[in-house]
Amino acid sequence: MSVIYNRVALIGLGLIASSMFWAIKRAGLANEVTGFSRSAKTRDTAREIGLCDRVCNNLTDAVIDADLIVLCVPVGAMEDVAMQIAPGLKSGATVSDVGSVKRAVIDAVAPHLPDDVHFIPAHPLAGTEQSGPTSGFAELFDNRWCLLVPLEDTDPAQVDRLADFWHGLGSNVECMEPDHHDLVLAVTSHTPHLIAYTMVGVADDLRRVTDSEVVKYSAAGFRDFTRIAASDPTMWRDVFLNNKDATLEILGRFTEELFALQRAIRKGDGKELHDYFTRTRAIRRGIIEAGQDTDAPNFGRGPKK
C-alpha cells in the first residue's frame, strides 16, 4: 500500500481513532499522523503507548498542514471542533468524521468549513464495547463496512481518494445518502442499542431478582445485551439526540411488533410465535453468508469441536 495522504490528523483519541492510527501504520497510508484529545490524561496515555507520531496540545497544531482531518469525537462535540479547526485548515485538505449519524453532523459541521476544503462525512461500521485510547487495534476495520456520505457538490476524485484510504484500513466502502444512512443505522444499530440498554436497566431495577442472580445466570441470553449496553454513554447519548426521528420511527415499529407477540403469548397462540421465530432464522443465515459474523456456536466463546 502506498501513502494516500501525507499528513493525517486524528481529532479525539478513542477506540476508533486509535484503531485508525494502528491501521494507518500497518498499511503505510500516511507519512505522519498527528493526534489531539481534549483530555490531558488521554494525551499522556497516547504518548506513553506511541499512539500517533505526534500528540498535540491544541487543535490548531494538530490540523496545521494536514491533508486529511478526521473528527473522531462524539456527535454532539462535532460543531465546536469544526469551528475551532476551520481557520487553521490547509486549502485543498479533506475533512471527514466517523460519527454514527450523518444528517446532524453535516448540519453541524458543513457551515463552519471554508470553501476550499473538501468535507466528506464517513461512518465506519465497526466497534467494540471498549472505549478510550488503549482500546484500539489495527484489525478493527478489516472486512467491515465504511459508509461515505458525500455532499452533492463534492469533487469525486477526493471521494475516491478517501475510499482508497478506507480500503487501506481494511474496510469495504460504499456511498450512501445521509437520510437513508440514518434510517439504516437506526435499524441495524441505534434501536438495538437502545433496546439492550433498556433490558439491562430492567434487570437492574427488579427487586425480586437480585443483581447477583442476574449476573450469575446471564449466560442464558442476557449477557449479549450487556455487551451492547456497555458501550460509551456519551457517544450513545449523542446518537439518540441526533438521530431522533429515525430512532423514534423504528422504536414505534418495534413496540407495535412486540405488542403483537405479547398478545400471541397472552392468547397462547403457538402457531403465530413459531412462524415468527422461524422467519427470523433466515436473516441470521444471510449474515453468516455475508461474512459479517462467525457461525461458531456461542460466538466462538465455547471450545471448538
Give, as ranges, the residues between 108 and 167 that touch a copy of itself (CB under 8 A).
125-130, 135, 137, 139-140, 142, 144-145, 147
Does 50 participate in binding a copy of itself (rule CB under 8 A)?
no
The letter for the amino acid at 248 is: L
CA 262-184-272 angle, 5° bins:
25
The residue written with cell numbers 437513508 in the block is 180
Name the segment binding a copy of itself (CB under 8 A); options: 39-47, 53-61, 152-160, 222-230.
222-230
Cα-based angle 106, 108, 112 (whole degrees, multiple of 5)? 100
Looking at beta carbons only, is 115 or 266 nearer to a copy of itself?
266
Strand partners, 56: 36
Q: Are 169 and 24 in contact (CB under 8 A)?
A: yes
Taking a C-beta distance cutoff of 8 angstroms, is the pair 123, 146 a contact? yes
The answer to the question of residue 49 lying near a copy of itself (CB under 8 A) is no
Q: Residue 67: what residue type?
A: D
Cell numbers for 232, please give them: 460509551
* Residues in Cβ contact with 185 at an 8 Å cutoff, skipping those fewer than 6 apart: 100, 101, 123, 243, 246
- 64 or 264: CB nearest a copy of itself: 264
* Cβ distance to a copy of itself smaller for residue 41 or 284: 284
Q: Where are the alpha helices (DSSP H) in 217-269?
A: 222-228, 233-242, 244-267
- When asked if residue 58 is in the footprint of a copy of itself (CB under 8 A), the reply is no
Max distance between CA atoms of the chain, in angstroms, equals 67
First to last CA, the chain: 38
Considering only residues 5, 165, 166, 225, which one is a binding residue for a copy of itself as defined by CB under 8 A? 225
Tell me the number of residues near a copy of itself by CB under 8 A: 108
Check binding of 40 to a copy of itself (CB under 8 A). no
Minimum distance of a copy of itself from residue 73's CB (angstroms): 15
Q: Does 175 bind a copy of itself (CB under 8 A)?
A: no
For residues 2 and 278, which CB has a smaller minimum distance to a copy of itself in the complex?
278
Q: Nearest approach, Cβ of 92 to a copy of itself (angstroms)?
A: 32
**What track of x and - describes contact with a copy of itself for positions 60 through 79 (by CB under 8 A)?**
----------------x---
Work out how close the CB of 72 gets to a copy of itself at its nearest, in angstroms, rounded to a whole number: 17
Cell numbers placing 198:
433498556
Nearer to a copy of itself, 9 or 15 (CB): 15
- Torsion angle, CA of 22/126/105/77, rounded to 10 degrees? -60
Interacting positions 7-36 with a copy of itself (CB under 8 A)? none
Residue whose CB is less far from a copy of itself, 115 or 208: 208
CA distance 282 to 300: 20
Q: Which of residues 240-259 bind a copy of itself (CB under 8 A)?
A: 240-241, 244, 247-248, 250-251, 253-255, 257-258
**Least distance in Å: CB of 132 to a copy of itself?**
12
Cell numbers for 268, please give them: 397462547
Given a contact cutoff of 8 angstroms between Cβ atoms, the answer to whether 86 and 114 are in contact is: yes
* Binding residue for a copy of itself, selected from 52, 155, 197, 207, defined by CB under 8 A: 197
